[in-house]
Amino acid sequence: MDTTTRALVLGGGGVAGIAWETGVLAGLADVGVDVTGADRIVGTSAGSTVAAQITSGLTLDELLRRQIDPAAQAPEIPSGVAIAELMEQWVEIYTQTSDPAEARRKAGALALAASTVTEERRREVILARLPVHEWPDRDLVIVAVDAYTGEPILFTPRSGVSLVDAVAASCAVPCVWPAVTIGDTRYMDGGMRSSNNADLAAGHDRVLVLSPLEDPVLAGQVATLGTTVEVIQPDDASRAAIGPDPLDPEVRTPSAEAGYAQGRAAAATVTALWR
């Protein structure tokens, strides 16, 4: 009997990251290695969307079509934000603040003060992204951050929070989308802890990480796992497809197509890890 446990970590990366990760997963499955049955799935920001989608019951082929076919793509709101300038602002906060929790509180203060679309309008986007709005009966972890305290929160099927709200919170990029009200607090993007939160896969024998964006703490998190880990990051073709703005809805089709090709190319390596 195989007692090996497996975890799939899906990192943040905007609408481009959703498309790319979906492409990679579909490409892997088409060459014979479907990793969506992992014992634990950790989703952060874009990865939380993908995690909810791949546990919804829809096939990877259909999920890929929803990224590639413009007629099937869910409606998105253009961010209207210069993402490069915003990322510079975050880098400055995190490099000049020694305490990560304090850095997250500073990012949260910016998030709470920002002028954005309403929570209701943003929630409509999340509703349209998710094929099913109920939690699956799976070990699914969705990461967000309390915008007031800077404390990470791990939403699961047992948290008493709706799946839509959990994903909306995890995807609430500060200064781009509104912090999400749940109970008596508001939550922002789980990527404010780290883009991937790979350390949350601890305790599993095999871990696959899909990381659409550069993550300066990923190597350290992987090292703490002390297990067999494979990290897939965008190759040259995927980086070109994603482009400079991962929040741009127009990059969904090329990002998904590039991810699919990359997934097929990575199948042998992932098969060795997974099996």
**Which amino acid makes up residue 113?**
A
Catalytic residue among 165, 189, 199, 215: 189
Question: Active-site residue 2, yes or no?
Answer: no
- Run of H or E including 54: helix 46-54
Rg, C-alpha atoms of the chain: 17
Q: Which tokens in the block code for residue 25?
A: 């997963």
Separation between Cα atoms, residue 16 and residue 33, nearest integer Å: 23
- Run of H or E including 140: strand 139-146
Separation between Cα atoms, residue 24 and residue 270, nearest integer Å: 11
**Which amino acid makes up residue 124?**
E
- The three-state secondary structure class of 210 is strand
Question: Active-site residue 245, yes or no?
Answer: no
Active centre residues (catalytic): 45, 189
